[in-house]
Structures are given as structure tokens and as C-alpha cells.
Amino acid sequence: MRILLIGYGKMGHTIERLALAKGHQIVAALTVEDAHQLSSYTKDQVDVAIEFTSPAAAVNNILTCFELGIPVVCGTTGWLQDLPRVEAKCQELNGALLYASNFSVGVNLFFHFNEYVAKKMQQYPEYGVQVKEIHHVHKLDQPSGTALSIAEGILKQYPTKQGWVNDKTTSEDLLGIESEREGEVVGTHMVQYTSANDTLELNHIAHSRDGFAAGAILAAEWLPGKQGVFGMNDLLQL
């Protein structure tokens, strides 16, 4: 498979290493400085693009891939306010996008279990619920996209909550998401249900970026030939 990497930071380098080990070809790895070269590639040269850049750049990169007829796997977070526009353009141009806030298979199973537990726990109002995420100091957005996905899963099951706040909170109407930036932490996410008597906690701790990169490559292998906007639930049939 011929892969175009859009974004060549730590994740891009990890994806390149694992993709080459699986026998795939890296057509090019575009950095921020040469991202303007994206429009020079065609669907005859590239089977799929994998995009890990910044919130400011992601939407234009995705739309350009649609125009080029290149399926795109996107792991950049922080741009979902533009998702309706991206979905409309995807439909208009018969494009293909697989977006995930986190490509780790373990994290996506965590999302699945998170919704199940939230559905059960909301029946017991004596338990307060909070989300916490810890990442490396270089991460630009907070809360993390993964934490927001976790929060969305909880809020679906808690009709009394009106939204989330990026802090601890005792408000019954809001879900607190606590964010910490610490050293080179790859990514830790937890959901805590606490009562006066006990605490129930769900944790996911990433040990390396390889799990994220392997999931992105799995998505890139799955996406070509499809049309529409997809997520990891589609890929993993959750």
C-alpha cells in the first residue's frame, strides 16, 4: 500500500517505521513547512493519506485529500467544530475519511466499556463521575480528544448533565475533565465514580506511541475503496 504521511512529528515517524516493517511504501512524509506540496499528489500515486498535524491545518488537509480523490485517515484532534463542513464536502466529492481521537485498539475498547459502565452507574446518583487525562508537555490541546470522546460517552448516559468543564467540579449539571501536562507521558485516561463509601475507576495507560500508530495503519489498510466518514467503531465493528 502506498501511504502519504501528512505531518512528520513523533507520530509520523512511528507510523513510517511500523508501515515499512509491514511492507508498505511511504510515498512522502510532508512536514509543516512543505504541506503546500500536498496538492501535487494524485490518487494514481497514493492509496491513502495519514494525517497527524495540528488543529489549524487538519481541515484544509482533509478537504484537499477529498479534492484529490485520496482517502484520508486523520488523527489530529481539536478541529471537530468543523466536522459538519467536512462531512458535507466528503459527501459532495464522494470522499473517504476515517477520523479518530485515538487509534489505539485498547482505547477504543475502553470507549466501548466506558459507555456501558456509565449507563449502569447513572442509576446510582450517590456516585459522582469525573474524567482525568495526563499527557506530555508538548500536547497543544486540552482536554485531549480522547478525553472528549470519553466525556461524550458518559454524557450520552447522563441526561441531567448539560455538558463538560475543563476542571474539577462538584456541579451535578456538569462533567469535570481534569487535564495535566507532565514530562513525556504518552497518555493516561481515567474515569472515576466516587461515593462516600468507595471509588470505582476505569483506567487506560499507554506505554508507547506504537499502539496509536499500529491502529492508524490498520485504519489505512481498511479505508481505501469506501465512501463516507467513519470511525474506529466501524473498523472494529463495536
**Total domain count for the chain?**
2
The whole-angstrom separation of Cα 67 and Cα 4 is: 15
* 25 and 35 within one domain: yes
> Which regions of 103-173 does DSSP assign to beta strands (E)?
128-135, 163-165
* pLDDT above 90 for 143: yes
Write out the binding residues for NAD(+).
Answer: 33, 75-77, 100-103
* pLDDT for res 102: 85
**28: Cβ contacts below 8 Å, ≥ 6 apart:** 4, 5, 37, 41
Q: Which of 10, 112, 139, 226 is catalytic?
A: 139
- Is 135 in the active site? yes
Model pTM?
0.79
pLDDT at 73 over 90: yes
Shared domain check, 109 and 99 = no
Q: What is the CATH number of the domain that holds 98?
A: 3.40.50.720
- Annotated catalytic residue within 135, 161, 189, 204: 135
What does the alpha-carbon distance between residue 190 and residue 130 come to, in Å, rounded to a whole number?
A: 8
54 and 89 within one domain: yes
The question of whether 204 is a catalytic residue gets the answer no
Task: Inform me whether the pLDDT recorded for 77 exceeds 90.
Answer: no
14 pLDDT higher than 90: yes
Give the structural domain span for 191. 105-206
Q: Reply yes or no on whether the pLDDT at 23 is more than 90.
A: yes
Show binding-site residues: 33, 75-77, 100-103, 136, 145-146
And the C-alpha cell for 122?
447513572
User: What is the distance between the alpha carbons of residues 135 and 142, in angstroms, rounded to a whole number?
Assistant: 9
Same domain, 78 and 128: no
